[in-house]
Amino acid sequence: MSPSAIALAVIFIIVVSGSALGFYAGTRHKMSLEQWTVGSRGFGPLLMWLLMAGETYTTFSFLGASGWAYSRGGPALYILGYLPLASVIGYFILPPVWELGRRHRLQTQPDFFLAQYGNKYLAAFVAIVGVVFIIPYLLIQLIGLGIIVEIASFDAIGRTQAMIVAVVLLGGFVFVSGIRAVAWVSVPKDILMVVASVTIGIAIPGIYFGGIGKMFAALAGAHPAHLLMPGSTANLGHSWYISSVLLSGLGLSMWPHGFAATFTARSAETIRRNTIVMPMYNLSLAFIFFAGFTAYLVIPGLSNGDLSMLTLVRQTFPAWMLGLLGGAGALTAMVPAAVHILTASTLFSKNLYRPIFAPDMSDDQVARLARVVVVLLSLVSLIVAIYSTLSLVSLLLLGYAGVTQFFPGVVLSLFWKGVSMEGVFAGLVTGVACATVLILGNHDPFHGINAGFLALCLNFGIAVLVSMVQPTTTGRSNARLSGHMARTDD
Amino acid sequence: MKKPSLWAIVIASIPFCAMCFSVAAWDRVYPMVFGLPFNLFWLLLWIVLTSVCMWIVHRIESARTAKPANHPGERNPS
């Protein structure tokens, strides 16, 4: 067998057994809308941890982090900075969100805004922003899958064909099984991911330099600036680091899928314990950085840094090992991608289409519409992914610039009685518009500061200011007073 | 929603100071620790210490919620 056949066969076996586990988990439960989206709110600590870890540690950490360590150097460290801080934020925000979710039977993030502010147009806008900015995150996973298959096949299978196969598999996976399947596929995925990253992170510097310390000594001798900020970039210095860490740290809990994942927990205590342990999971990312920095010394000059780690693995290890890593990477892409598609289609059907266009739809009809949207959304993302030229990290920062704009609306509603619906709506619209204009106009970073973070500051300021000028509205106090509404969508 | 206590917020802000705002102080290659550049070592150290801080915060907060057992439905019309 040729090396590419061996590598692809191993990847195929890993992906198929992973998906089989997911399908099996899915078919054991009857699928209502509640089961499909929030697993009937019955996830204990273990399943919950798997779901949250599975959603957080994606192809982005696998290929994107090493890609930036390779192509940008020091600025990539922002990834190690923001993930632990995001858990700190989560500790304070997610338990009250879960509490409200249980009280009002919430399933999605726009549901939360509706319950807190009592305005269906605000909720619909939250749904639109959520769907639009989750797409870059979905693209990361699709492009990641494409890269894995491309490299594992020794460039025999093009990235486009690889992505088509991935999308078909993904769509089918989500269509059949919902959120419970996703949590269970995280089991093999997380184990493989940790084993794989530790193995590469230790073995690759060991083989080329005789150890991690010796590799860094060589790098510090030859290119000391690459290890610092702004590294191999012109404008990603310390102010960019601080603003990006804050943007991403505040934003991690604001991803529509992460927000919805909170509702699957059995208790607020489950979530708190989770966020305490979560930072430690990031230690495995260090090994991925080791691999990226080694690649910078051993195979310099690749035009696309995201390919660096797997290219180095391919020229260092036997084909089966490349297959094992590729398989781990593929599952690492499929689990989050499934969650992204699932979330976006639910947002579209439940919080945008039904309340605005078809108020008479039943929950079952919404669930059916959501499945149709799964197919449409997969196709749209596939087409965008084929033409995207952004690096994986840039795509992630784009997503964060959008979803972090939810932060003021969520936090103010939890901890400040004076906040008004008008204030939050105005802030959100301004924040999203500002981030979009700056990023599309190539002004990111803006004077050395992350554009999404500037938009967030503006958003926060406007939300507070307008709330003070126009205090509590009737919609909001109604939603608050009728604390025992059976459902939020009437 | 009940606001977290002052101590919990103070301790939870330690990781923010250590990993985010103070970047200019620790973004350096030397001294290398365990063979790692200093900035990388510093962040890895604080990943562990963040969990420790949050564990302390959790102790403080659980002790606080355990005491007053009366919060019926918290209805505060604003």
Q: Say if residues A403 and A251 touch (Cβ distance below 8 Å).
A: yes
Residue B5 dihedral angles phi and psi, to the nearest 5°: -75, 160
Round to whole Å and give the CA distance between A334 and A324: 15
Of residues A170 and A308, more confidently modeled: A308
Query: What percentage of chain A's residues is helix, strand, coil (to nearest 5)?
Result: 80, 0, 20
Distance from CA of A439 to the nearest CA of B (A): 23
Cβ-defined contact of B20 to A242 (cutoff 8 Å): yes
Rounded to an integer, the average pLDDT of A425-434 is 93
CB proximity B32 to A under 8 Å = yes
Judged by average pLDDT, the poorest of A226-230, A247-251, A283-287 is A283-287
Written as one letter, the residue type at A50 is L
Q: Residues A74, B36, A296, A151: is their CA dihedral positive or negative?
A: negative
Q: Say if residues B48 and A280 touch (Cβ distance below 8 Å).
A: yes
CB proximity A249 to B under 8 Å = yes
DSSP A225-279: GGGSSSTTSSS--HHHHHHHHHHHHHHGGGSHHHHHHHTTBS-HHHHHHHHHHHH
Residue A430 dihedral angles phi and psi, to the nearest 5°: -65, -45
Round to whole Å and give the CA distance between B51 and A87: 9
Round to whole Å and give the CA distance between A96 and A104: 12
Written as one letter, the residue type at A321 is M
pLDDT at A140 over 50: yes
- Paired tokens of A381: 């993302």
Q: Say if residues B29 and B37 touch (Cβ distance below 8 Å).
A: yes
CB proximity A416 to B under 8 Å = no
pLDDT tens digits, residue range B7-64? Answer: 999 999 999 999 999 998 999 998 999 999 999 999 999 999 999 999 999 999 888 8
Q: Say if residues A472 and A418 touch (Cβ distance below 8 Å).
A: yes
Supply the pLDDT for residue A480.
46
Q: What is the CA radius of gyration of chain B?
A: 18
Of chain A residues 25-64, which have a CB less than 8 A from chain B? none
Round to whole Å and give the CA distance between A277 and A175: 32
pLDDT at A188 over 90: no
- If phi > 0 it is left, if psi is from -120 to 50 it is alpha, else beta; for residue A481 that is alpha
Per-residue confidence band for A127, with pLDDT thresholds at 50, 70 and 90: very high
pLDDT tens digits, residue range A337-365? Answer: 888 888 888 889 888 888 888 888 888 88
Q: How deeply is B3 buried, as exposed, middle or buried, from its count of CB atoms within 10 A (0-12, 13-18, 19+)?
A: exposed
Contacts of A99 (CB under 8 A, 6+ apart): A268, B1
- Residue A323's nearest CA partner among A127, A136, A148 is A148
Q: Which residue has the tokens 């993030």?
A: A109
- If phi > 0 it is left, if psi is from -120 to 50 it is alpha, else beta; for residue B4 that is beta
Cβ-defined contact of B47 to A229 (cutoff 8 Å): no
Q: Say if residues A367 and A142 touch (Cβ distance below 8 Å).
A: no
The minimal CB distance from A87 to the residues B29, B54, B76 is found for B54
Percentage of chain A lying above the pLDDT 70 cut: 86
Judged by average pLDDT, the poorest of A127-131, A384-388, A415-419, A473-477 is A473-477
Distance from CA of A7 to the nearest CA of B (A): 32
Cα dihedral A97, A98, A100, A102, rounded to 10, equals: 160
pLDDT at B71 over 60: no
Distance from CA of A115 to the nearest CA of B (A): 14
Rounded to an integer, the average pLDDT of A441-451 is 84
Burial A133-162 (b: 16+ CB within 10 A, else e): bbbbbbbbbbbbbbbbbbbbbbeebebeeb
Residues in chain A closer than 8 A to B51 (CB atoms) = 84, 276-280
pLDDT at A410 over 70: yes
Cβ-defined contact of B15 to A88 (cutoff 8 Å): yes
Q: How deeply is A344 buried, as exposed, middle or buried, from its count of CB atoms within 10 A (0-12, 13-18, 19+)?
A: buried
pTM above 0.80, yes or no: yes
Supply the pLDDT for residue A195.
80
What average pLDDT does the structure give for chain A?
Answer: 83
Distance from CA of A33 to the nearest CA of B (A): 27
CB proximity A168 to B under 8 Å = no
Q: What is the CA radius of gyration of chain A?
A: 22
Rounded to an integer, the average pLDDT of A381-388 is 85
pLDDT tens digits, residue range A395-408? Answer: 888 889 999 999 99
Strands (E), A326-485: none
pLDDT at A478 over 50: no
Supply the pLDDT for residue A37.
60
